[in-house]
Structures are given as structure tokens and as C-alpha cells.
Structure 1
Amino acid sequence: MSQRKRAAKNRRPKVIPMRLDATFFFERAVQSLDRYHYDKALKYFRRAVEYEPENPVNHCNMAGILSEMGRYEESNVILRSVLDQIDPAMTECYYYLANNYANMELYEAAEEALVRYLENDLDGQFLDEADELLDLLNYELNRPTKISTIKSRENIYAHDKARELLEAGHFAEAVKILEEIIQRQPDFLAARNNLGLAYYYMGLFDQSVATITEVLDAEPGNLHALCNLAIFYQHSNQEEPLRELIEKLNKTVPFHPEHVFKMATTLGIVGEHREAYSHFRRLLRTGELAGEPSLHHFAAVAATNLLRYDDAERHWKQAEKLDPQSPVPSFYLDKLDKVRKGEERAPTHYHYHLPFEEQFKQWENSPGQVTEALKREPLIRSSFFWALRHGDRKTKVQVIQALGLVADEEVIEALKAFLIDADEDDELKRVAVLVLRSIGVQDALTVTFSGRTLTLEARRKSARLPVWDNAWQAVLEQALEGMSGRYDVVQQHDMMTLWVDYLSRVYPEVPKLHKSTGWAAALEYWTAKMHRRTVTYADLVNRYGVSQASISRYANRIDEACGIREKLDLTTPSFH
């Protein structure tokens, strides 16, 4: 080839092939939009749809242009087709529909579409805009819009609900919600922190520590988690890890009042009263919380432990002035005089309610007051749940009976969990079964006795009894003692159930139980009959120290109320 021909060939223009696809037309549409050429933009978006008809974004872009052009009905047709035929998960289309309907002054339809968006959209991309539109619709419709949930804020709202439940003392309900939140959003540390706290309030120590540890693994400096863990270590007597944690907390200077308060109460509970008092005084000086009687109480407790008795008296008197209905300030003011004289030790109780032992004294004199306190005060309820798990035997018996006064779902679940704890005493479980039956829980109960798991069958529903009487308990204890070693757990449970059934039927006309041994022998008699067991007159008389006539009389009374003879097809009580 000649040099001229080669030069001519090299001068030929290079042709770059144009690739026509959805991306090409999308870019052209955007360029047209920048120049406010809506007709051209619409044409290009239509071409993009032709190239990728299954791509919902292309359809939404076209609907958006039509909306900008005021062609709302056409825009809505496209948005509906996206939701109905292409991608129902594109919930933002409901927000676009709501905007279109609002521009068409179809406010009812706009409200319906906006509610669908808020209740179904996971991301909340247009949440702020939706709030503004909601305000407009409320104004135009002259009423608020009812929304059951905002999907993108579902966990936040659920967490707020769980916190309310914790503050109200409904720990089991809070645990359920918090566990669901964490399952949906594992990195929601505030929910995980409160879950650990809820476990702690329920006395589930190992679970609480494990949960708080998970928070600290994700965020080592989380102050709430550090404080919660310090309290957990304190209650479990883990001195070495507690000491290390206290050193870390003492080097921390929180700024936010909520964090200062958390730090102060934590340090007080673990015995660091000087640092605690410093933080409490700091809060009182700021003025924001100076009107809280509980804060003055906390400061007084810390001051007493520092031998600053005059300061303590001043704080408790201020708490009494701010909260004259509460028995707490006056109780501790009386105690302060004895502490000054060296007759009593300084209080270490950093909760704004009476000490646990004092609550029981009040319960003995006025059960109704304790019932109200357990229902109203979450910290008191928490102390009872904690004592149920970690108190001594006598305390646990008192707690079980006290919880029976409340008898709400929270208490029922706590007592049912107590029944299956292999580490708890069998006799205490019998008391718990009795309380559950006496408050009307008649469904089947699962109980772990001496390493064996048994199911106590459901019973006929009886009327709920009031406060459990000590005389009723005495009959049961004598019957259990007499039946010990002769009857199995299920048979003993049936005896207890029969006693509750009898009392429920005759209440309030319960006879005077002068001879509790006779009633106990009668209960064993009917229990033996129900289980086709042989029982002799001589045996019952010898073991219970009561006459045959007394046993027969009380057995007849039980039968008259409960109809046992008829159920067992017996004619007269007879001893073999």
C-alpha cells in the first residue's frame, strides 16, 4: 500500500459504537431533569422501562416525573402496578402515592397510603417527610391519624415499651420484648443492657452477667453495662473482678446527669460511699434533680456511712419535705439517732423504699399495704424476686406467700420457674404449688422434686382465696409430716389441692380449726381413698394423736363440701 493511501486510512474518523440500554436512557433522563426538560426526561424514562421492564426503579422514576408534571393519576397507576405486579416490597411507593393523593386533595386516600408506608417500610427513608405529611393530613382531616406501629422504628418503640414495663416491675414481660428486639437487631446495645437488668431483677444472675458481658464485648466503655456488672459482682461476692471494676469507674467522670446518677448509685451500692456522695452532691448542685426526694435519700445514706450525720439529717429532712407521704425519710431519721449512738450500723440500702425486713414487718400487720407496694413499686417487687432466688429458707417462704397476695402474671411465671429449679428445696416448692393453687392457677404444673421432673395434673378451677391463713398452713404442714415417706409427691400434691378446694368452697364460712391434727388426718384419709391406698384407723390415730370420732367428723365435712364420696362411689367413711 502506498504511503498516501496509508495516510488517508489513518485520517478516517474512529466510530465509537453507542450502547443503548436502560442506563444510557436513565442518564439522559437525569440530564433532562437538570435542565427542567420534563417531557424529554419522561420520554427517556419510558425507554429505560422498555429495556428493563422488571426493574421497579425505572417505573418509580417514570411515576416521579409524571407527579412533577402534575399528572398524578397516571403516576398512581404506575405505582400501583409496581406494588401489585412487579415488587410488593417497594413500600416507598405508598409514600409516593400518599403525596400524589394529597396533591389531588384526596386526603382520606393519602392517609391510608401513608399509614401503609409507615407500618410496612423497614428503612424509613422518607420518615421525616412522612412526619410533615402526617401533620398536613391531621390538619386537613381535623383529627389525628391512628398508626399501630412505625416499622422502621419498631425496635425503638418496643424498647421504650420494655423500659416502661421494667419501671412498672413487670420484668417477665419486659424480658420477652427485649429478647425479641435483640433477635431482630443484635447490635441494639441499650436493649441488651436492659435485658441484663431485667434478668437481674428476676434473680437470674448467671443470665444477667452473660448478657451484660455481651454488651461490654461490643462496647467496652459502656457506662451502664459497667455499672450493672459492678452491682452483679457485689451481690455474688466476686471481690477481685469487682475491685478492678471499681478502679475503672473511679477514674471515669460522667457528664450527662443520667450517667452521673447511675455512677453515684452504683458506687454507693458497692460501698464506695465517698465517691458516691461526691456525685450525689454534684447532682444536687446542678438544680435539675434537686427536687427529687430519692436523690436526697441516696445522699443521706452516703453521708451516714461517711459519719457526716448532720448532712445526712439535712438530706432526709429535705426528702421528707418533698415527699411527706413516703415512710422512707422518717424511718431513716429514726434510725439515724441509733446510728449516732452506735446502737445500729449505718444503712447500706441505696433504694428509695423500706428495707426488705421492714417490709415483712408491715406485711404481718397490714398485708394490704404490702400488696399495693408490690403492685406499685418495681424496686420492692424486684427485691422480692431477688429474695425468692437468693434468700434463706425462712425468707423464701415469706416471699412466696407475699407474692401470692399479688397473683398477677408476673408472679405466676416467677413461681412456675421456681418449681422447675433443681437447686431449690422440695418443701419450698410444695409451698409454691399451694400458693399457685390457692390463687386460682389450676392448670397442669411441672415440678422438679428430688431430681425428678413430674407433671401435676390440672385441677378443677376454684374460687381464689384471700390471704393464706396461718391456721390453714398448719393443717397442711401436719398432713405433709404425717404422710412423709408413705405417699409420693403427686399424692401429697393432691392432698394440698383437696385442702385448697375445700377452703375455696366453704369460704368465707371456714370453720374454726381448733384441732388441726384431726383435719390433717382427714385429708390423708381422703387422699388415700382417691389413690386406692389402704389406710387403717389405728395408724391415723397413732400418727396424728386424735380420736376416730374427730377424724370421721372432719372427713364428713370435707366430703359435704367437695363430694368426694360420690365421685369415688363410696357410701360412708370407713377405715381399714
Structure 2
Amino acid sequence: MSQRKQAATNDRRPKVVPIRMDATFFFERAVQSLDRYHYDKALKYFRKAVEFEPENPVNHCNMAGILSEMGRYEESNDVLRGVIEQIDPKMTECHYYLANNYANMEQYLDAEESLVLYLENDLDGLYLDEAEDMLELLHFELQRPTKITTIKSRENYYAHDKARELLEAGHFAEAVKILEEIIERQPDFLAARNNLGLAYYYMGLFEKSISTINEVLEAEPGNLHALCNLAIFYQHSNQEEQLRILLDRLNKTLPIHPEHVFKMATTLGIVGEHREAYRHFRRLLRTGELSGEPSLHHFAAVAAANLSQYDVAEKHWKHAEKLDPNSPVPQFYLRKLEQVRRGEERAPTHYHYHLPFEEQFRQWEKDPGVVTEALKRDPLIRSSFFWALRHGDRNTKVKVIQALGLVADDEVIDSLKSFLIDEGEDDELKRVAVLVLRSIGVQDTLHVTFNGKLITLESRRRSEKLPLWDNVWQMILDQAIEGMQGRYDIVQQHDMMTLWVDYLSRVYPNVPKLTKSMGWAAALEYWTAKMHRKTVTYTDLVSRYGVSQASISRYANLIDEACGIREKLDLTTPSFP
């Protein structure tokens, strides 16, 4: 035989490919059998898969599924209970499989029990639609509704609805807490992340709001709500180049859904694109769906006024007044429009259906109760005050802090506490915020950043809640702080503020006439020095405060009579003459 024939003969040896007999092999064979409706073979292969991987719950569930298809419900349930009790209790879908089997066996009470376990414990909700159909069946068969505490897979949606309600009510800190928890549980819940960015914005936390909205756009670049929110954030943080690029994109977008049209229109108006904004507002008014909303006519009027279409603006504000006769907003802007026509005022750019912030302050100075009620009731007004707390000038911030003290709810307290630890805020403003917090009865420990250092302020006295903080009270406090500057640390200054609030709370409403404010300020320093065992002389106090020793003595005695400082300090020296 030639060498070539010998080589050919050798090459004819069979090439054997070994079959790997593992769980995957038998799973694939089972699936093939299922495709041919060979249930007996499929069951045999799934049993083999279980033998190779007994700790894999999926193999057991597959086997239970085949048994159920074959009508062997009891055997299927035995397997499913074994998965839950011995292999993986987190396989909550097994409860749904059990419920399905029990329903097929007409054991409806057992089916109900298993279905409730599924709904209340399953996070993913894979069989939620089927479960709701089964609930209807059980309602019919048992002649009563099934009691369910919660549907686990929908908890985030329920929580999101609650957060939206809080946002609409102006309770931004509470909404933030819920939304952050939702996102931690479900990072891909973009609506919640969008609203979280909005809540940060309402609280004046720009960097966090922009960062959060960008996270939404990374996941869904065309998300219209996120794009609109980002445009407003860019404008208020003076990021003009980024805003211009974004507006080019928005102006090329034509939203269809009314909610999206409204969002686009208000956004374009807020950032100064009045012509495009008015075009979208007109689209909404023509459809009729929102034509009965006074706020929509107000927005359209603002856009028209900025386009010098004053007759059109007047028509819209008059229509808003007709729809909402009790609101001061349309009347205010109709008066403003007359000034705009005469060239005395610029067209308003306030795309919110409430009075401008400056007008709210003017009303507050006339009647504090008006703004107090508005702050409690109107989330947009609340948001404007929180905004001013972060971004107003110093005088505005002082007024905002005092105004928020009138409301004194948890949202306000949280905002003022957050203000105290902001390194970028003025230390004097923080003293006002501390004073307001103490005056409204906040007695817990306060953390304050002064001169770049975090200080802890313990509450040493309990004060009753005071009414509106009086300007004279504040003036005395400011004078005392100025006189103590450089001589007392921030904790000692805080004790002086607490003493002043404590005194006023004890004597209110019979507060004596505070005509000699410097004398009161000197008396406050006197008692602060005594409380901290610091040496202070009358000569020094008279020199620095420019008042007589007799005045200081008199006011110090009045403070002591109300607060009992001498007794608390166990001072044995006689009282002032």
C-alpha cells in the first residue's frame, strides 16, 4: 500500500465529540420535548436537571411547571413548597404558582392565601396582571373582596404619588426624603428622579438639581420633562452657553400631549422665549382641554405682554379674573399692564400664578397673617420664599427667615437647619435663623457653621412659642451681638440669644417698653458673662453701650425676675439697687 493510501486510511478514523451530561444539557432536552408537547419526556429531563443542580431553584420551578401542565397539581405544589421552605425563600413567584394550582383545584381559600403572599412580597411584579385577573376570579368565587395590605411591586408608584402630593403642597424636604428612598430601591424610576431634581431646585439646591436631571438624561436623552427642567436650572444658575444649546434643541421639538405642551410653553416663557411660549399656549387654548384654567390665561397674558400685544394680554387677564374672581393675581397684573402701556414699567416676566415675591413682602409688612396663610396653603409661594432664602440679597433673607418663622412647620424647620450649616451663608444671618428657631420652640441641639467651623449649640432653656418677631427685639439682639463681638465665642453668643428669647417668652404679652435698647443689650451681656464666669465691669459696659449704670442695673433685674438667673447660678451677691 502506498504511503498516500496509508495516510488516507488513517484519516478515516471516526472523530467522536463527547456529550457533556450536565444540567444545561437536560434543560435543553426538556425544552425540545416541550416544543413537541412530549410532557413525560420533558418531566424526565427536568428531574435529571434537578439531580445535577439540586440547589438551583429554577430547575425545581421548571419541574413544578411541567407537573402543573400535566394536571398533577398536588405534586407541583409539593415541589414549590420545597423551593420556598428549603432552597430559596426569596423565590416569591412560587406563591403565584401555588395560587394558580390551588385555583385549578378549586381550593379558593388556599389560592387566596398564596396570592396575597405573592402580591405583598414580590418586588418585581412579573405576574401582576395575571394576579389581578385571579383576584377577580376569587372575588366571584368567594363572594367577597380579598384583603391586601400592600402590593409590594407597586410600593414605589404609591410612594411616588405621595411625593408628588407633597411637592404640590410645598413640603419639599419630605418629598426629597421619599424620592431618594424610591431611587435607592429602583434606580431606573426616571419620573421619581425627575421630581427629585425639581424638589432640589425648589429648595435652592442648584448643583444637586442639575446633577439629578443629568442622570435622567443619561438614561433617556429625549426626556422632555428633564430637558425643560434643565433649561430652567441653567437660566437661574446663569449658565448661558448651556442654556442656548438646549433652547436650540427645544425650539425644534413639537410636543403633542397637552401635558408636554404645557411644560414646554411654561419653560420657554420662564427662560425668556416668549414668542415660542405664546405659540404653545395658544395651541392649548385652542384645544379647549385647559381653557378653563385661570393660570393658563395668566401665562398666555404674560407672554403676550412681553410681545407688546397689550390688548391680547388684557383679554387673557380679564378672562382669568372671570374664572377666578377671588384671586388677587389677575387684578394685580391688570393694574400693572396699565403702567406697562404708559412706559412706566417693563412687561412682567413672572410665569407663576401668584403675586411676585416683592409684592408678597409688601403685603406681609402690611398684614403678616396674609402671607402666613399663603405660605401654608400655596406651594408656589412657599417655593419662592425658599428660593429667596438661598438666592436673595441680605435684607431679603432676613425678611424671609422671619416670615418662615411665622409658619414654623417641619418643612420650615428643616430648611432653616440646613441654612445654618451652609458654609456660603452669612454668619449674621445664621444668628437670625438660630433666634427664629429658638423663638418658635425648637429646643433640640443645633449645628451651625460659623467662620468655616461646625459648632454645636445646646438648648439650655425651654421657651414658649412667640408670635411675630418684633423689629425692636431684633435690634436689641443685634446691639448685644455687636457689643460682644470679639469678647465672646459663638456658644456664649448663642446663650445670650437663648436668654433673650426665654425672657420675652416668659413676659409676653406684657413685654415692657424697650425704649433704651442699648441698656437692654448691656444687661444681656452682663448675664451672659455671669453664666460663663467671665469678668465684666460696669465701667466697661457703660463705656461700650453708652448708657448709665442705673439703666443696665434696672434691665438686668427685670431679666432676672422673669428668668431666675441668680438663683440658678447660686449667686450670693445682693441684687442691683
Tell me whether the two structures share a fold, i.e. TM-score over 0.5.
Answer: yes
Distance 2:487 2:16 in 1: 104
Alpha-carbon distance between aligned partners in 2 of 1:182 and 1:417, rounded to the nearest angstrom:
22
Q: Work out the CA distance in 1 between the residues paired with 2:514 and 2:195.
A: 48
Show the counterpart of 1:453: 454
Gaps of 5+ in 1: 1-13
Give, in whole Å, the separation in 2 of the partners of 1:573 and 1:549: 15
Q: Classify 1:466/1:136 alpha carbon distance in 2 versus 1 (closer, same or farther; 3 Å).
A: farther
Query: Is the alpha carbon distance of 1:483 and 1:261 closer, same or farther for their aligned partners in structure 2, counting shifts above 3 Å?
Result: same
Show the counterpart of 2:283.
Answer: 282
Partner of 1:142: 144
Give distance in 1, aligned partners of 2:56 and 2:375.
Answer: 59
Q: Which moved more, 1:70-79 or 1:263-272?
A: 70-79
Change beyond 3 A, Cα 1:61–1:439? same
Q: Residue in 2 aligned with 1:436?
A: 437
Deviation at 1:184, TM superposition (A): 4.0
Residue range with higher mean Cα deviation, 432-441 or 244-253? 244-253
5+ long unaligned stretches in structure 2: 1-14
Cα offset, 1:284, TM superposition? 0.4
Partner of 1:447: helix, strand, or coil? strand
Q: Residue type of the partner of 2:209? A: S
Contact preservation (8 Å) 2:251, 2:276: yes
Tell me the CA shift for residue 214 of structure 1: 3.4
| Alignment match, 1:468 | 469
Shift of 1:33: 6.3
Query: How do 1:35-74 residues align onto structure 2 when only pairs under 5 Å count?
Result: 46=47, 49-50=50-51, 52-68=53-69, 72-74=73-75
C-alpha spacing 1:135/1:325, structure 2 compared with 1 (3 Å) = farther
Q: How far does the alpha carbon of each residue in 1:133-169 deviate from its partner, in whole angstroms, 9 at most, with x for none? A: 2333445362453333423x44444433333322222
Q: Shift in Å at residue 94 of structure 1?
A: 1.0
Counterparts in 2 of 1:376 and 1:112: CA distance versus 1, 3 Å: farther
How far did residue 353 of structure 1 move?
0.5
> Superposed, which structure 2 residues align to 1:16-415 within 5 Å?
46=47, 49-50=50-51, 52-68=53-69, 72-103=73-104, 107-139=108-140, 140=142, 142-143=144-145, 145-151=147-153, 153-415=154-416
The residue that corresponds to 2:11 in the other structure is none
Give the superposition deviation at 1:200.
Answer: 1.4
TM-score, normalised on structure 2?
0.89
> How far off its partner does 1:35 sit?
7.6
Q: Deviations over 1:306-327 (max 9, x none)?
A: 1111111111111112222221
SS in structure 1 of the partner of residue 524 of structure 2: helix
Instruction: Determine if contact 1:444/1:459 at 8 Å carries over to the other structure.
Output: no
CA contact (8 A) 2:232 2:271 kept: yes
CA contact (8 A) 2:193 2:213 kept: yes
CA separation in 2, counterparts of 1:232 and 1:24? 56
The answer to whether the Cα contact below 8 Å between 2:554 and 2:576 also exists between their aligned partners in 1 is no
Deviation, 1:261, is 1.1
Give the equivalent residue in structure 2 for 1:534: 535
Instruction: Flag the 1:244–1:72 CA change in 2: closer, same or farther, 3 A.
Output: closer
Supply the distance in 2 between the matched residues of 1:101 and 1:573 (Cα, whole angstroms). Answer: 88
Distance of aligned partners of 1:554 and 1:107 in 2 relative to their CA distance in 1, 3 Å threshold:
farther
1:41 CA displacement: 6.2
Please state whether the residue corresponding to 1:417 is helix, strand or coil: helix
Three-state SS of the structure 1 residue aligned to 2:308 is: coil
Q: CA deviation at 1:506?
A: 3.0
SS in 1 for 2:448: strand
Instruction: Work out whether residues 521 and 540 of structure 1, in 8 Å CA contact, stay in contact via their aligned partners in 2.
Output: yes
Aligned length in residues? 564
SS of equivalent to 1:524:
helix
Q: Is the 8 A contact 2:461 2:498 kept in 1?
A: no
1:558 CA drift (Å)? 2.1
C-alpha displacement at 1:470, in angstroms? 2.3
| Secondary structure of residue in 2 paired with 1:221 | coil
Pair 187,52 (structure 1): closer, same or farther in 2 beyond 3 Å: closer
Q: Are the counterparts in 2 of residues 556 and 573 from structure 1 also a CA contact under 8 Å?
A: no
Q: Is the 8 A contact 1:537 1:575 kept in 2?
A: no
Q: Percent same amino acid among aligned pairs?
A: 81
- Once residues 486 and 17 of structure 1 are traced to their aligned partners in structure 2, the CA distance between those partners, rounded to angstroms, is 90
Report what 1:8 is aligned to. Answer: none
Partner residue in 2 for 1:3 = none
> In structure 1, what is the Cα distance between the partners aligned to 2:272 and 2:21?
76
How much is the aligned-residue C-alpha RMSD, in angstroms? 3.0
Cα deviation per residue 1:188-227 (whole Å; 9 max; x = unaligned)?
Answer: 4333332222221111122222333333344443322322
Do 2:460 and 2:495's aligned partners in 1 also have CA atoms closer than 8 Å?
Answer: no
Tell me the SS of whatever aligns to 1:570.
coil
What residue is the counterpart of 1:416 in the other structure? 417
Cα distance in 1 between the residues matched to 2:455 and 2:25:
72
Q: Distance in 1 between matches of 2:241 and 2:42?
A: 71
Stretch deviating more after TM superposition (67-76 or 491-500) = 67-76
